[in-house]
Amino acid sequence: MKSPSNARLLLPDEEMDFLPIIPLNEQEAEAFDASTVPEELPLLPLRNTVLFPGVVLPITVGRDKSIRAVNEAYGSGSDRLIGVVAQKDPNVEDPAATDLETVGTVARIVKQIKMPDGGITVIIQGKARFAIENITSEEPCFHARVRLLEEAAAPTDPEFDAQVSHIKELASEIIQLSPNLPSEASVILRNIESPAFLINFVSSNLNTELKDKQRLLAQNDIRERAELLLGFLHTELQYVELRNKVTNKTRAELDKQQREYFLQQQLKSIKEELGGDANERELRDMQKKAETKQWSEAARELFNKGLEKLERMHPSTPDYSVVYNHLDFLLDLPWDDHTEDQYDLHHAKEVLDADHYGMEKIKERILEYIAVLKLKGDMKSPILCFYGPPGIGKTSLGRSIASAIGRKYVRLSLGGIHDESEIRGHRKTYIGAMPGRILQSLRKIKSSNPVVILDEIDKVGSDHRGDPSSALLEVLDPEQNNTFYDNYLELEYDLSKVLFIATANNLQSIQPALRDRLEIIELSGYAIEEKIEIAKRHLVPKQKEAHGLKSTKFKLSDKVLEQIIADYTRESGVRELDRQLAAIMRFQARALAMDGKIRENLKPADIETILGRPRHNNELYKSANMPGVAVGLAYTYVGGDILFIETTLSEGKGELRLTGNLGQVMKESAATALSYLQSNAQKLGLDPKVFEKKTAHIHVPEGAVPKDGPSAGVTMLTALASAYSGRKVRPYLGMTGEITLRGQVLPVGGIKEKVLAAKRAGLRELILCVQNEKDVMEINPDFIKGLKFHYVRTVGEVLQLALAK
């Protein structure tokens, strides 16, 4: 078969697919007279390709040695033969003999064309393979002694025929999948009849590495060369298929994007006809709202940047909602929106008195704050902390303060918070990010100067997520909170106008640095008289209205209220009293619903019918009927209380046993009391030997309740002295105070709560340290009427007063 007489080849530095190089003549390629090849040939090194026998290549020659080799071969006679070998490394510009492959191809220079730049383009046709025996010279060009490699005849068995057929099929398939190759190339392939030439032809145009082509050229056995070529063709086919898959996928994605863009443009035109895009209208509304905002320059700049970013984003992108929500939060914050304070001190006092009975110290502090505001016009808000037992109205007092000065009110419950982000907020890049609860509250009430109640600040927790109490340091520091930084806002916000009021039951659990920033105002428990007034003014009307009895003439006398407080409650506040009153109202409501009438005045006997038998019996605390028992006064987180100190002696070795869930400080107080008695036994009229023969056991009832503190020192000493002397402690007597080994009595805290607890329990006399007299003087004399106080300096005075003669 004759093939076309001319051919075209992509140059080596061009990106090329599998492209057939058409030989001049298939029969001519195989009919080559080996005797015409001289023993020594000039060599032409090729950098980017390998020449196979029968294949025609156009080569651009630019290196001096190569030009001299071509000129020598072209002018040597009619054969114009030259040895063509591939370089091992195509990057070597001036190769040495060791840089050349040892197997090459004898080629005939078909045509030589001199270029204007001094280079030469030659068309060469491979004739036969050779092996270099040795390089005879390197200058002026490479010369080598060569040995022709004989080509074995192609096998005629069916297996080889199948290999050749498979090579044609794979090559044709690659041509069909390559868009840069003409489809006519597969027709040429199918018409090549010589197996050897087919293998050389396909190998020459294979898109593979140079070393793989060199392996094909160096392979002497034509069957093994065919197997090697099949492997390379399979790899090439997989590569072409994968490239087509990626190309088609990319094209599909581009088509989809173009389609979406076209639809978006149409949608945009439709929306413009209907009055504009909803998202664009929202952005315009945000812009108009921002123009009326009185905010800082930094906030304005942050908003404008966010709005510009939003305008460039498509609403369907995930970041759109993040940026939109952030800008919406910026707009909703009350940057300079605040309520006008009411400076009428008389009105403020009336509001505070109407809402809460007593609490004079707090009311005075709030009135002082309003007075300074009235005179100065502006001041940093104080950070107040109401400290006291539960149920006495700390939280509700905050609402009254807000009402008194005409500010908005918000309450933040801090109990159980253990994540710092609850205060400072999350960074807005997180999924579900939110501002801190403080700024959320300001956004909700739309005021920058509200009264904020930080409820239960002593119950803030901390774990691996952070320490909220440390985050509160910045919030509650008047010197810092004018530049409070919220992680979500990403901007400083002024909290200095906010009046923060914290509430706590236990100061010990508040972080010291945080406690130092708070102005502590201690709230004591209520006396019985105060509770009666609170019930008459607030609790009874509230419960009557809650139970549908507002229109009735039903009321409770002071005597009945006192009975409810004394027999059915044991608390510093009024929550339990409120629950008992609710029980009475439910009884009355049921009677009204069933019988159509109720008793307008309840008697003490009626209270026992409604509430059951009294839960608390004061007789238990009024007397001690045996030696070794004394009544002490205690202060707990729920207010004041009284407790027994029981002491008994048994035969032993002078040991001291302590039971009743006592803390370390309380145990040390007991040891101090015993040591004082031992060292002063004769002075106190005690037998010193009794301490060696008797074991003292001190027990404090209610063993399930932890107890600690130094204030039971005088009570323990009195109980021990009573047990060792056999003298009873006088009835109706309670005491509190810390002792020393020198016999001094030291002051203790919580005096008001302890005194009121003693009054509730029915005690008549109290022994206190002389330095606690000032604390008693602060208590309303009406609340402690009937109580006699003994102020002492030494333990000796205590024992003289406490022990019966």
What does the chain come to in residues?
805
According to DSSP, the residues that pair with 455 across neighbouring strands are: 413
Q: Which helix (H) or strand (E) holds 697?
A: strand 694-699
According to DSSP, the residues that pair with 300 across neighbouring strands are: none
Could you give the CA distance from residue 762 to residue 732 in angstroms, rounded to a whole number?
Answer: 7
Active site residue 400: no
User: Please, where are the H alpha helices in 292-358?
Assistant: 297-312, 318-332, 345-355
Coil, strand or helix at 803? strand
Active site residue 711: yes
Write down the catalytic residue from 127, 408, 694, 754.
754
CB 664 within 8 A of CB 617: no
Q: Which helix (H) or strand (E) holds 130?
A: strand 120-137
Residue type, 560: V
- The end-to-end CA distance of the chain, in Å, is 146
Longest Cα–Cα distance of the chain, Å, equals 153
Q: Which of 590, 405, 571, 425 is nearest to 498 (CA)?
A: 405
DSSP single-letter state for residue 136: E
Coil, strand or helix at 768? strand
Write down the catalytic residue from 669, 711, 722, 725.
711
Cis peptide before 95 (omega within 30 of 0): no
Coil, strand or helix at 332? helix
Structure tokens at 436: 């801190």
Q: How far is CA 722 from the centre of its chain?
A: 61
Cβ-based neighbours of 658, under 8 Å, separated by 6 or more: 666, 667, 670, 697, 698, 699
Could you give the CA distance from residue 566 to residue 757 in angstroms, rounded to a whole number?
Answer: 11
**Where does 19-102 show beta strands of DSSP type E?**
40-46, 56-61, 81-86
CB-hemisphere CA count at 13 Å for 307?
Answer: 22
Q: Which of 345, 318, 349, 305 is nearest to 431 (CA)?
A: 318
So which residues are the catalytic ones?
711, 754
